[in-house]
Amino acid sequence: MEWLLVWLLEAPSFEFDWDTGNRYKSAAKHGVPTDEVEAVFRLKLSLPLGRQLAPAMPEERLGIVGPSPTGRMLQIAFTLREGRVRVISARPAHWKERKRYEEILRQVAERI
């Protein structure tokens, strides 16, 4: 997943492709509006969690965890479609995901 980390950190900008259902689903279910989700990508502080292995999906689904401008740590599941980020869901990160974020940060810091 190193490519995903490089992409998250070095992409000059992100384009988003929201479908009608997913545009409002995360806000309704988890209180996470689309602008906050997009801001997580733009802050460039998110880290990859990996790809979804099960259930198998026709498109590769990826996960990241990172802080939003409000300070909330969010977990975002998405796919890449024609170079655009298509968000599947976003929610506050569970403690295990926050812990994983801290572990990945520590690993990255050790490499520098």
The pTM of the whole model exceeds 0.85: yes
Structure tokens belonging to residue 5: 């980390």
Residue 1: pLDDT above 70?
no
The residue ranges of every structural domain in the chain are 2-111
Say which residue the tokens 């995903």 belong to: 4
**Please, which residues have CB within 8 angstroms of residue 106's CB and are 6 or more apart in sequence?**
none
pLDDT tens digits for 29-79? 999 999 999 999 999 999 888 776 666 667 889 999 999 999 999 999 999
